[in-house]
Structure 1
């Protein structure tokens, strides 16, 4: 009887002793979080795609119709002879 009482007192009954008790709710939370992030990213991508022009100019065409807001012609020269010329103008 003394050993049975010692075993009852020695047991750890503090807190949750089940293993993996939080795995299910945490997994559900992560799945819902990833689903929400995916939905927001898809909406953002669709909004950006709608803002693109229907057609892009071909590689050989130079952008000679660019004008400044004052109504004059642009003084910036076009670099279409180099690869990614218009992107280089934006990057500096």
Structure 2
């Protein structure tokens, strides 16, 4: 039995070509192409990174460009502007804003007398 196994191992060794397991010229070419591609990618990424600003927190005086709402209701309804409540109240009661009334007895005077 031992002779059969030894013969099988020798037969397998004889069938393998001499250069199995060694790198050939195609492998060297492939490694060089990959190194050149990596170098070009690094060079391109450095160019893109140089164009980015150093600090993204520079918003200026305008405030944040995107305002994230605090509640889901603010997604549906637009946020109220400062003074909007006063304007809504005045629109509901238009008599609250009236021009000066002319007083009786003063012909050309249209504003009320000072108290």
The verdict on a shared fold, with TM-score over 0.5 as the criterion, is no
Smaller-chain TM-score bracket = 0.3 to 0.5
Task: State the TM-score, normalizing by the size of structure 1.
Answer: 0.43
Q: Which has the higher contact order (CA 8 A, sep 6+)?
A: 1
Answer with 1 or 2: which has the greater Rg. 2
